[in-house]
Amino acid sequence: MAQLRRDFFAAGAHRIAEELIGATLLVDGVGGVLVELEIYDQNDPASHSYRGPTARNASMFGPPGHAYVYRSYGIHWCLNFVCAEPGEASAILVRALEPTHGVGQMVERRGRDNPLELCAGPGRVCQALAVTGRLDGLPLDRPPFELLARDSEPEISRSPRIGITRAQERPWRLCLAGSPYLSRGPRRG
C-alpha cells in the first residue's frame, strides 16, 4: 500500500472522500480501515466552516492535508481531514474504522472489547486512536499520522449525515457497503 501524501487532499472533498473509503488510517501505528466518512464543505450550513473562521475551526481554513480536531458536546473529540477546492474550506469527518492495527491498545484505551464498537462513531475513533486537540492542525503525511491508500476499489453506499439539523437531505455520508463496523446500520439516516 502506498502512503498518501498531503497534496492528495488539495482537491474537492467529495472526490477525496470517495477515494478514502477503504484506505487505512493509523495514529502511532494504531488504527484501521476507513469505513464511514462524512463530507462538510463551506457552502454547507451544517459545516463548522459555513460561518467563517473562529478559534475552534482555524485548521479548516489552513492548508489541505492536515487534521482538524474539535471537541464535540464538550466531551468527545472528532477527527477531520482538511481538504480544499478553490475558494472553499472543506473537511471530511472520520466516523468509523474497521480496527486492524493495535487492537489491544484500542481495547485498553476504550475499556471495552466489543470489536464492532471499538471505532464505530467519531468520538470512539478518537478515543481508540488517542486523538485529542494536540493533533489539531498537524499534517496527515507525517507521524503520528499515517494514511495508506487502498488496494482495490470498494463498493460505497451513500446516505444522509448523522446528528445534524441543517442540510439533512444531502447524502454526504459515505460508507463501505456491507461493513459491520459502521456507527449505525447502512440504512436509516
Enumerate the β-bridge partners of residue 156.
176
Among positions 28, 62, 76, 115, the unique one binding DNA when judged by CB under 7 A: 76
* By CB under 7 A, residue 54 contacts DNA: yes
* By CB under 7 A, residue 46 contacts DNA: yes
Give the distance between the most distant pair of CA atoms in the chain: 43
Among positions 91, 129, 135, 140, the unique one binding DNA when judged by CB under 7 A: 91
* By CB under 7 A, residue 101 contacts DNA: no
Rounded to whole angstroms, the Cα distance separating 119 from 106 reads: 9
Nearer to DNA, 14 or 149 (CB): 14
Neighbours of 132 (CB within 10 A): 13
Among positions 14, 71, 109, 158, the unique one binding DNA when judged by CB under 7 A: 71
Rounded to whole angstroms, the Cα distance separating 145 from 116 reads: 23
Angle between helices 122-129 and 103-110 (to 10 degrees): 110
Quote the least distance from Cβ 142 to DNA, whole Å.
23
* By CB under 7 A, residue 122 contacts DNA: yes
For 62, the grid coordinates are 489552513
Residue that has been written with the C-alpha cell 494536540 in this structure: 134
Quote the least distance from Cβ 53 to DNA, whole Å.
9
Q: How many helices (H) and strands (E) does the chain have?
A: 3, 8
Interacting residue ranges for DNA, rule: CB under 7 A: 38, 40, 46-49, 51-52, 54-57, 71-76, 78, 80, 91, 93, 110, 112, 117, 121-125, 161-166, 183
